[in-house]
A and B are shown apart, each in its own frame.
Chain A
Protein backbone atom coordinates (compact mmCIF):
# COMPACT_ATOMS: atom_id res chain seq x y z
CA UNK A 1 0.00 0.00 0.00
CA UNK A 2 2.86 2.28 0.85
CA UNK A 3 4.34 1.61 -2.54
CA UNK A 4 1.05 2.29 -4.28
CA UNK A 5 0.93 5.60 -2.47
CA UNK A 6 4.41 6.46 -3.58
CA UNK A 7 3.69 5.48 -7.14
CA UNK A 8 0.58 7.58 -6.83
CA UNK A 9 2.58 10.59 -5.79
CA UNK A 10 5.15 10.00 -8.47
CA UNK A 11 2.62 9.75 -11.22
CA UNK A 12 0.67 12.67 -9.89
CA UNK A 13 3.88 14.63 -10.14
CA UNK A 14 4.24 13.54 -13.76
CA UNK A 15 0.70 14.46 -14.65
CA UNK A 16 0.57 18.12 -13.86
CA UNK A 17 -2.14 19.24 -16.23
CA UNK A 18 -5.02 18.01 -14.15
CA UNK A 19 -7.50 20.64 -15.02
CA UNK A 20 -7.90 20.67 -18.76
CA UNK A 21 -8.81 17.94 -21.22
CA UNK A 22 -8.00 14.44 -20.20
CA UNK A 23 -4.74 13.01 -21.43
CA UNK A 24 -3.04 9.93 -20.13
CA UNK A 25 0.63 10.76 -20.39
CA UNK A 26 1.14 14.47 -20.18
CA UNK A 27 4.92 14.34 -20.32
CA UNK A 28 6.90 12.96 -23.20
CA UNK A 29 9.63 10.43 -22.54
CA UNK A 30 12.43 9.23 -24.77
CA UNK A 31 15.58 7.19 -25.15
CA UNK A 32 18.37 8.39 -27.45
CA UNK A 33 21.36 6.24 -28.47
CA UNK A 34 24.82 7.69 -29.07
CA UNK A 35 24.86 5.74 -32.36
CA UNK A 36 22.14 4.05 -34.37
CA UNK A 37 24.47 2.63 -37.03
CA UNK A 38 27.81 0.90 -36.47
CA UNK A 39 30.26 -0.66 -38.90
CA UNK A 40 32.83 -2.63 -36.98
CA UNK A 41 34.34 -6.10 -36.85
CA UNK A 42 34.63 -6.32 -33.06
CA UNK A 43 31.82 -5.64 -30.66
CA UNK A 44 31.14 -2.06 -29.70
CA UNK A 45 29.18 -0.32 -27.02
CA UNK A 46 26.59 2.37 -27.47
CA UNK A 47 25.61 4.74 -24.67
CA UNK A 48 21.98 5.68 -24.32
CA UNK A 49 20.25 8.42 -22.42
CA UNK A 50 16.62 8.27 -21.29
CA UNK A 51 14.56 11.08 -19.88
CA UNK A 52 11.07 12.29 -19.07
CA UNK A 53 10.89 15.68 -20.75
CA UNK A 54 8.72 17.73 -23.04
CA UNK A 55 11.75 19.31 -24.71
CA UNK A 56 12.73 16.92 -27.52
CA UNK A 57 15.47 15.55 -26.89
CA UNK A 58 16.66 17.80 -24.10
CA UNK A 59 16.50 15.93 -20.77
CA UNK A 60 14.53 17.16 -17.77
CA UNK A 61 14.03 14.20 -15.41
CA UNK A 62 15.69 10.77 -15.35
CA UNK A 63 13.91 7.67 -16.65
CA UNK A 64 15.14 4.30 -15.43
CA UNK A 65 17.54 3.17 -12.73
CA UNK A 66 19.01 -0.04 -11.33
CA UNK A 67 19.16 1.28 -7.76
CA UNK A 68 22.69 2.54 -8.27
CA UNK A 69 22.02 6.06 -9.42
CA UNK A 70 21.19 9.43 -7.97
CA UNK A 71 18.48 9.93 -5.38
CA UNK A 72 15.47 10.48 -7.61
CA UNK A 73 12.87 10.75 -4.87
CA UNK A 74 9.44 9.40 -5.69
CA UNK A 75 10.49 8.56 -9.23
CA UNK A 76 12.29 5.52 -7.79
CA UNK A 77 8.92 3.83 -7.37
CA UNK A 78 8.10 4.31 -11.04
CA UNK A 79 11.57 3.06 -12.00
CA UNK A 80 11.05 -0.18 -10.02
CA UNK A 81 8.19 -1.03 -12.36
CA UNK A 82 10.20 -0.57 -15.57
CA UNK A 83 11.58 -3.55 -17.46
CA UNK A 84 15.04 -2.94 -18.92
CA UNK A 85 15.05 -4.84 -22.20
CA UNK A 86 17.47 -5.43 -25.02
CA UNK A 87 16.43 -7.66 -27.91
CA UNK A 88 19.41 -8.89 -29.94
CA UNK A 89 19.47 -9.68 -33.68
CA UNK A 90 18.47 -13.29 -32.96
CA UNK A 91 15.37 -12.08 -31.12
CA UNK A 92 16.62 -13.09 -27.65
CA UNK A 93 15.48 -10.80 -24.84
CA UNK A 94 18.01 -9.67 -22.23
CA UNK A 95 16.50 -8.04 -19.13
CA UNK A 96 19.80 -7.27 -17.38
CA UNK A 97 20.63 -3.86 -18.79
CA UNK A 98 21.93 -1.56 -16.10
CA UNK A 99 20.40 1.89 -16.22
CA UNK A 100 21.75 4.58 -13.94
CA UNK A 101 19.80 7.66 -12.99
CA UNK A 102 21.45 11.05 -12.76
CA UNK A 103 19.58 14.15 -11.69
CA UNK A 104 18.30 15.06 -15.13
CA UNK A 105 18.60 11.87 -17.19
CA UNK A 106 19.38 8.17 -17.01
CA UNK A 107 22.25 6.45 -18.81
CA UNK A 108 22.95 2.90 -19.98
CA UNK A 109 25.70 1.18 -21.94
CA UNK A 110 24.65 -1.62 -24.26
CA UNK A 111 27.11 -3.92 -25.96
CA UNK A 112 26.45 -4.49 -29.65
CA UNK A 113 28.16 -7.77 -30.54
CA UNK A 114 26.41 -9.35 -33.47
CA UNK A 115 25.65 -8.11 -36.95
CA UNK A 116 22.05 -6.98 -37.19
CA UNK A 117 19.58 -4.86 -35.26
CA UNK A 118 19.15 -4.48 -31.51
CA UNK A 119 16.06 -3.01 -29.89
CA UNK A 120 16.60 -1.30 -26.52
CA UNK A 121 13.50 -0.63 -24.40
CA UNK A 122 12.16 0.59 -21.09
CA UNK A 123 8.80 -1.11 -20.75
CA UNK A 124 6.26 0.14 -18.24
CA UNK A 125 3.54 -2.41 -17.38
CA UNK A 126 -0.02 -1.41 -16.53
CA UNK A 127 -0.37 1.29 -13.86
CA UNK A 128 -3.87 1.80 -12.48
CA UNK A 129 -5.53 5.21 -12.46
CA UNK A 130 -9.09 6.45 -11.97
CA UNK A 131 -10.41 9.60 -13.61
CA UNK A 132 -13.58 11.33 -12.46
CA UNK A 133 -15.28 14.65 -11.99
CA UNK A 134 -15.48 16.08 -8.50
CA UNK A 135 -18.87 17.15 -7.16
CA UNK A 136 -18.16 20.70 -8.44
CA UNK A 137 -17.40 19.39 -11.94
CA UNK A 138 -13.58 19.69 -11.79
CA UNK A 139 -11.87 16.87 -13.75
CA UNK A 140 -9.53 14.92 -11.48
CA UNK A 141 -7.60 11.69 -11.27
CA UNK A 142 -6.18 9.37 -8.64
CA UNK A 143 -3.67 6.56 -8.99
CA UNK A 144 -3.74 3.10 -7.48
CA UNK A 145 -6.11 0.19 -8.03
CA UNK A 146 -8.85 1.26 -5.65
CA UNK A 147 -8.48 4.92 -4.73
CA UNK A 148 -11.02 6.38 -2.33
CA UNK A 149 -13.02 8.83 -4.39
CA UNK A 150 -14.45 12.03 -2.93
CA UNK A 151 -18.16 12.09 -2.23
CA UNK A 152 -20.24 13.09 -5.23
CA UNK A 153 -17.65 11.99 -7.82
CA UNK A 154 -19.18 11.42 -11.25
CA UNK A 155 -17.95 10.17 -14.64
CA UNK A 156 -15.75 7.61 -12.88
CA UNK A 157 -13.52 5.69 -15.30
CA UNK A 158 -10.99 3.12 -14.07
CA UNK A 159 -8.00 3.06 -16.37
CA UNK A 160 -4.56 1.53 -16.80
CA UNK A 161 -1.62 3.09 -18.65
CA UNK A 162 1.37 1.25 -20.04
CA UNK A 163 4.17 2.33 -22.31
CA UNK A 164 7.24 1.35 -24.26
CA UNK A 165 10.16 3.77 -24.60
CA UNK A 166 12.57 2.41 -27.15
CA UNK A 167 15.07 2.79 -29.97
CA UNK A 168 16.97 0.67 -32.48
CA UNK A 169 20.71 0.23 -33.08
CA UNK A 170 22.21 -1.71 -35.99
CA UNK A 171 25.67 -3.20 -36.48
CA UNK A 172 26.45 -3.66 -40.20
CA UNK A 173 23.34 -4.82 -42.10
CA UNK A 174 19.94 -4.26 -40.48
CA UNK A 175 17.81 -7.28 -39.51
CA UNK A 176 14.17 -7.75 -38.55
CA UNK A 177 14.09 -10.20 -35.61
CA UNK A 178 14.43 -7.48 -32.95
CA UNK A 179 12.02 -5.19 -34.78
CA UNK A 180 9.25 -7.78 -35.06
CA UNK A 181 6.57 -7.17 -32.43
CA UNK A 182 7.04 -8.92 -29.10
CA UNK A 183 3.27 -8.91 -28.66
CA UNK A 184 3.22 -6.52 -25.71
CA UNK A 185 1.54 -3.14 -26.17
CA UNK A 186 2.07 -0.76 -29.11
CA UNK A 187 5.06 -1.49 -31.33
CA UNK A 188 6.43 -0.23 -34.64
CA UNK A 189 7.50 -2.46 -37.52
CA UNK A 190 6.63 -2.41 -41.22
CA UNK A 191 8.24 -2.39 -44.62
CA UNK A 192 10.94 0.21 -43.87
CA UNK A 193 13.62 -0.67 -41.35
CA UNK A 194 13.82 1.92 -38.54
CA UNK A 195 17.62 2.05 -38.94
CA UNK A 196 17.43 2.73 -42.68
CA UNK A 197 15.95 6.22 -42.77
CA UNK A 198 17.05 9.00 -45.11
CA UNK A 199 15.72 12.52 -45.60
CA UNK A 200 12.95 12.90 -48.20
CA UNK A 201 12.53 9.14 -48.56
CA UNK A 202 9.09 7.81 -47.71
CA UNK A 203 9.36 5.35 -44.82
CA UNK A 204 6.50 2.83 -44.67
CA UNK A 205 5.77 1.81 -41.10
CA UNK A 206 3.07 -0.23 -39.43
CA UNK A 207 1.90 -0.15 -35.85
CA UNK A 208 1.17 -3.38 -34.04
CA UNK A 209 -0.99 -3.78 -30.98
CA UNK A 210 -0.38 -6.79 -28.76
CA UNK A 211 1.39 -8.41 -31.71
CA UNK A 212 -1.28 -7.86 -34.36
CA UNK A 213 -1.67 -5.05 -36.92
CA UNK A 214 -3.34 -2.10 -35.23
CA UNK A 215 -6.94 -1.94 -36.44
CA UNK A 216 -8.27 0.58 -33.91
CA UNK A 217 -7.74 4.36 -34.01
CA UNK A 218 -4.48 5.72 -32.64
CA UNK A 219 -2.79 9.10 -32.44
CA UNK A 220 0.64 9.19 -34.05
CA UNK A 221 2.87 12.24 -33.99
CA UNK A 222 6.42 13.09 -34.96
CA UNK A 223 8.59 15.90 -33.59
CA UNK A 224 12.05 16.73 -34.83
CA UNK A 225 14.75 17.11 -32.19
CA UNK A 226 15.64 20.58 -30.97
CA UNK A 227 12.32 22.03 -29.78
CA UNK A 228 14.26 23.95 -27.14
CA UNK A 229 16.00 26.01 -29.79
CA UNK A 230 13.10 26.90 -32.04
CA UNK A 231 9.92 28.82 -31.44
CA UNK A 232 7.59 26.46 -33.26
CA UNK A 233 7.28 22.99 -31.87
CA UNK A 234 6.33 21.69 -35.36
CA UNK A 235 4.49 18.69 -34.07
CA UNK A 236 3.34 16.65 -37.06
CA UNK A 237 0.30 14.39 -36.74
CA UNK A 238 0.43 11.30 -38.96
CA UNK A 239 -2.67 9.44 -40.07
CA UNK A 240 -2.77 5.67 -40.04
CA UNK A 241 -4.88 3.35 -42.17
CA UNK A 242 -7.12 0.58 -40.80
CA UNK A 243 -4.16 -1.79 -40.53
CA UNK A 244 -2.00 0.66 -38.58
CA UNK A 245 0.11 1.53 -41.63
CA UNK A 246 1.48 5.01 -42.19
CA UNK A 247 4.07 6.90 -44.19
CA UNK A 248 6.70 9.13 -42.67
CA UNK A 249 8.84 11.47 -44.77
CA UNK A 250 11.50 13.37 -42.86
CA UNK A 251 12.27 16.69 -44.54
CA UNK A 252 15.70 16.92 -42.94
CA UNK A 253 18.26 14.61 -41.39
CA UNK A 254 18.35 14.37 -37.61
CA UNK A 255 16.85 12.59 -34.67
CA UNK A 256 13.05 12.38 -34.62
CA UNK A 257 10.67 11.60 -31.79
CA UNK A 258 7.69 9.41 -32.71
CA UNK A 259 4.87 8.87 -30.23
CA UNK A 260 1.77 6.73 -30.67
CA UNK A 261 -1.10 6.15 -28.29
CA UNK A 262 -4.25 4.14 -28.32
CA UNK A 263 -6.85 2.80 -25.90
CA UNK A 264 -9.23 -0.15 -25.66
CA UNK A 265 -12.12 -1.03 -23.43
CA UNK A 266 -11.11 -3.64 -20.90
CA UNK A 267 -13.47 -6.55 -21.47
CA UNK A 268 -11.97 -9.33 -19.37
CA UNK A 269 -10.68 -7.26 -16.44
CA UNK A 270 -13.44 -6.59 -13.90
CA UNK A 271 -11.59 -3.71 -12.18
CA UNK A 272 -10.65 -1.76 -15.31
CA UNK A 273 -12.79 0.12 -17.82
CA UNK A 274 -10.24 1.48 -20.29
CA UNK A 275 -6.66 0.48 -21.00
CA UNK A 276 -4.21 2.99 -22.53
CA UNK A 277 -1.06 2.08 -24.46
CA UNK A 278 1.76 4.38 -25.60
CA UNK A 279 4.90 4.01 -27.66
CA UNK A 280 7.77 6.55 -27.57
CA UNK A 281 10.45 6.01 -30.19
CA UNK A 282 13.51 7.89 -31.31
CA UNK A 283 14.52 7.48 -34.94
CA UNK A 284 17.63 8.76 -36.66
CA UNK A 285 17.36 10.09 -40.22
CA UNK A 286 20.49 10.60 -42.34
CA UNK A 287 21.02 13.19 -45.08
CA UNK A 288 20.42 12.29 -48.70
Chain B
Protein backbone atom coordinates (compact mmCIF):
# COMPACT_ATOMS: atom_id res chain seq x y z
CA UNK B 1 0.00 0.00 0.00
CA UNK B 2 2.80 2.37 0.94
CA UNK B 3 4.42 1.62 -2.39
CA UNK B 4 1.20 2.38 -4.26
CA UNK B 5 0.84 5.73 -2.46
CA UNK B 6 4.48 6.50 -3.14
CA UNK B 7 3.98 5.70 -6.82
CA UNK B 8 0.92 7.96 -6.90
CA UNK B 9 2.81 10.78 -5.24
CA UNK B 10 5.71 10.35 -7.62
CA UNK B 11 3.39 10.10 -10.57
CA UNK B 12 1.51 13.23 -9.63
CA UNK B 13 4.78 15.06 -9.10
CA UNK B 14 5.91 13.92 -12.50
CA UNK B 15 2.64 15.05 -14.06
CA UNK B 16 2.64 18.48 -12.41
CA UNK B 17 6.17 19.59 -11.91
CA UNK B 18 6.81 23.19 -11.04
CA UNK B 19 7.33 25.37 -14.09
CA UNK B 20 10.15 27.29 -12.53
CA UNK B 21 12.51 25.47 -14.85
CA UNK B 22 10.63 26.54 -17.97
CA UNK B 23 10.18 29.93 -19.53
CA UNK B 24 7.79 30.89 -22.29
CA UNK B 25 8.91 33.59 -24.65
CA UNK B 26 6.89 35.18 -27.42
CA UNK B 27 8.35 37.42 -30.08
CA UNK B 28 5.66 39.47 -31.75
CA UNK B 29 6.00 41.64 -34.82
CA UNK B 30 3.78 44.66 -35.44
CA UNK B 31 4.10 45.20 -39.20
CA UNK B 32 4.62 48.56 -40.87
CA UNK B 33 1.33 49.56 -42.49
CA UNK B 34 1.58 52.55 -44.77
CA UNK B 35 -1.81 54.21 -44.49
CA UNK B 36 -3.34 57.48 -43.34
CA UNK B 37 -4.62 57.83 -40.74
CA UNK B 38 -2.62 55.09 -39.03
CA UNK B 39 -3.61 54.22 -35.48
CA UNK B 40 -1.37 51.87 -33.55
CA UNK B 41 -3.09 48.54 -32.96
CA UNK B 42 -4.44 47.38 -29.64
CA UNK B 43 -2.78 44.03 -28.92
CA UNK B 44 -3.33 41.26 -26.38
CA UNK B 45 -1.27 38.13 -25.85
CA UNK B 46 -2.63 35.64 -23.37
CA UNK B 47 -2.80 32.01 -22.31
CA UNK B 48 -5.92 29.87 -22.13
CA UNK B 49 -6.62 26.27 -21.34
CA UNK B 50 -7.67 24.08 -24.31
CA UNK B 51 -11.22 24.40 -22.94
CA UNK B 52 -11.02 28.17 -23.38
CA UNK B 53 -10.59 29.25 -19.80
CA UNK B 54 -8.51 32.40 -19.47
CA UNK B 55 -5.29 31.74 -17.58
CA UNK B 56 -2.89 34.65 -17.84
CA UNK B 57 -2.30 37.82 -19.86
CA UNK B 58 1.25 38.28 -21.11
CA UNK B 59 0.68 41.68 -22.68
CA UNK B 60 -2.13 44.15 -23.24
CA UNK B 61 -1.28 47.25 -25.28
CA UNK B 62 -4.00 49.88 -25.27
CA UNK B 63 -4.91 53.56 -25.24
CA UNK B 64 -8.54 54.10 -24.23
CA UNK B 65 -10.91 51.78 -22.38
CA UNK B 66 -13.70 52.49 -24.90
CA UNK B 67 -11.98 50.21 -27.37
CA UNK B 68 -10.86 47.34 -25.08
CA UNK B 69 -13.88 45.35 -26.18
CA UNK B 70 -12.62 45.38 -29.78
CA UNK B 71 -10.00 42.83 -28.74
CA UNK B 72 -13.03 40.62 -28.80
CA UNK B 73 -11.61 37.29 -27.72
CA UNK B 74 -9.30 38.68 -25.06
CA UNK B 75 -12.10 40.86 -23.70
CA UNK B 76 -14.41 37.87 -23.55
CA UNK B 77 -12.01 35.56 -21.77
CA UNK B 78 -10.00 37.88 -19.52
CA UNK B 79 -10.54 41.62 -19.99
CA UNK B 80 -14.15 41.95 -18.94
CA UNK B 81 -13.82 39.80 -15.86
CA UNK B 82 -11.40 41.62 -13.62
CA UNK B 83 -8.85 44.29 -14.35
CA UNK B 84 -6.32 43.21 -11.67
CA UNK B 85 -5.88 40.14 -13.88
CA UNK B 86 -4.06 42.23 -16.44
CA UNK B 87 -3.23 45.59 -14.82
CA UNK B 88 0.42 44.70 -14.40
CA UNK B 89 0.74 43.64 -18.03
CA UNK B 90 -0.95 46.73 -19.46
CA UNK B 91 1.01 49.31 -21.40
CA UNK B 92 0.64 51.82 -24.21
CA UNK B 93 0.26 50.79 -27.84
CA UNK B 94 3.49 50.18 -29.70
CA UNK B 95 4.81 51.38 -33.03
CA UNK B 96 5.75 48.90 -35.76
CA UNK B 97 8.59 46.62 -34.67
CA UNK B 98 9.37 43.33 -32.98
CA UNK B 99 8.75 42.92 -29.26
CA UNK B 100 9.74 40.20 -26.80
CA UNK B 101 7.45 38.90 -24.09
CA UNK B 102 8.49 36.51 -21.34
CA UNK B 103 6.53 34.48 -18.85
CA UNK B 104 7.90 32.34 -16.04
CA UNK B 105 4.61 30.57 -15.44
CA UNK B 106 3.60 32.64 -12.41
CA UNK B 107 -0.04 33.66 -12.21
CA UNK B 108 -1.33 36.92 -10.75
CA UNK B 109 -2.48 34.91 -7.74
CA UNK B 110 1.16 34.12 -7.00
CA UNK B 111 0.67 30.47 -7.85
CA UNK B 112 2.49 28.69 -10.62
CA UNK B 113 0.52 27.38 -13.56
CA UNK B 114 0.10 23.61 -13.51
CA UNK B 115 1.64 21.49 -16.22
CA UNK B 116 -0.33 20.55 -19.27
CA UNK B 117 -1.58 21.75 -22.62
CA UNK B 118 -2.34 25.42 -23.09
CA UNK B 119 -3.08 27.74 -25.99
CA UNK B 120 -1.25 30.98 -26.67
CA UNK B 121 -3.62 33.60 -28.13
CA UNK B 122 -2.47 36.71 -29.98
CA UNK B 123 -5.07 39.28 -31.03
CA UNK B 124 -4.54 42.67 -32.68
CA UNK B 125 -7.09 45.24 -33.78
CA UNK B 126 -6.49 48.63 -35.36
CA UNK B 127 -8.93 51.52 -35.55
CA UNK B 128 -9.85 52.11 -39.21
CA UNK B 129 -7.90 48.94 -39.90
CA UNK B 130 -8.41 45.20 -39.58
CA UNK B 131 -8.43 42.63 -36.79
CA UNK B 132 -6.23 39.53 -36.61
CA UNK B 133 -6.32 36.60 -34.21
CA UNK B 134 -3.74 33.77 -34.04
CA UNK B 135 -3.45 30.75 -31.73
CA UNK B 136 -0.86 28.12 -30.92
CA UNK B 137 -1.20 25.03 -28.74
CA UNK B 138 1.77 24.56 -26.39
CA UNK B 139 2.69 22.19 -23.58
CA UNK B 140 3.98 23.52 -20.29
CA UNK B 141 5.80 21.55 -17.67
CA UNK B 142 7.17 18.67 -19.71
CA UNK B 143 10.70 20.12 -19.76
CA UNK B 144 10.80 19.81 -23.53
CA UNK B 145 12.05 22.69 -25.59
CA UNK B 146 9.46 23.78 -28.12
CA UNK B 147 9.56 26.31 -30.96
CA UNK B 148 6.61 27.51 -32.97
CA UNK B 149 6.39 30.09 -35.70
CA UNK B 150 3.18 31.77 -36.89
CA UNK B 151 2.71 34.32 -39.63
CA UNK B 152 0.07 37.04 -39.52
CA UNK B 153 -1.41 38.45 -42.70
CA UNK B 154 -2.80 41.86 -41.74
CA UNK B 155 -2.22 43.38 -38.32
CA UNK B 156 0.39 40.89 -37.11
CA UNK B 157 3.72 39.89 -38.66
CA UNK B 158 5.97 37.04 -37.62
CA UNK B 159 5.20 35.44 -34.25
CA UNK B 160 7.76 33.16 -32.61
CA UNK B 161 6.91 31.17 -29.52
CA UNK B 162 9.50 29.19 -27.61
CA UNK B 163 9.44 27.22 -24.40
CA UNK B 164 12.73 26.37 -22.76
Contact = CB atoms under 8 A, between A and B. Distances in A.
Interface of A: 17, 20-23, 26, 28, 54, 231-233
Given A20-B36, A26-B128, A231-B131, 16 more contacts: A17-B38, A17-B39, A20-B37, A20-B38, A20-B39, A20-B40, A21-B36, A23-B36, A26-B37, A28-B128, A54-B127, A54-B128, A231-B132, A231-B154, A232-B154, A233-B128
Nearest to B128: A54
Contacts, number: 30
A231 B125 CA distance: 9
B50 interface: no
Nearest to A219: B36
A23 B131 CA distance: 22
B116 interface: no
Interface in B106-138: 127-133
Interface in B134-164: 154
A238 B37 CA distance: 17
Q: Main secondary structure on chain A at its contact with chain B?
A: loop
Contacts of B132: 231
B101 to A, nearest CB: 23
A233 B38 contact: no
Contacts of B129: 233
Nearest to B72: A231
A20 B128 CA distance: 14
Nearest to B95: A20
A253 B105 CA distance: 50
Contacts of B39: 17, 20
Contacts of A231: 130-133, 154
Contact of A17 (B37, B130, B131): B37
Contacts of A28: 128
Smallest CB-CB A-B distances: 10 pairs: A23-B37, A231-B131, A26-B37, A23-B36, A17-B37, A232-B130, A21-B36, A20-B38, A54-B128, A233-B130
Contacts of B37: 17, 20-21, 23, 26
A231 to B, nearest CB: 4
A21 B154 CA distance: 20
Nearest to B64: A16
Contacts of B130: 231-233
Q: Taking each of B128, B130, B133, which has the highest tally of chain A beta carbons within 10 Å of its own beta carbon?
A: B128
B40 to A, nearest CB: 8
Contacts of A20: 36-40
Nearest to B132: A231
A21 B133 contact: no
A263 to B, nearest CB: 13
Contacts of B131: 231-232
Nearest to A56: B128
B128 A21 contact: no
Nearest to B153: A232
25 contacts: A17-B37, A17-B38, A20-B37, A20-B38, A20-B39, A20-B40, A21-B37, A21-B38, A22-B36, A23-B36, A23-B37, A26-B37, A26-B128, A28-B128, A54-B127, A231-B130, A231-B131, A231-B132, A231-B133, A231-B154, A232-B131, A232-B154, A233-B128, A233-B129, A233-B130
A54 B127 CA distance: 7
Contacts of B133: 231
Contacts of B154: 231-232
A108 B119 CA distance: 49
A17 B130 CA distance: 17
A21 B37 CA distance: 7
A4 B38 CA distance: 28
A26 B35 CA distance: 12
A233 B127 CA distance: 10
Contacts of A54: 127-128
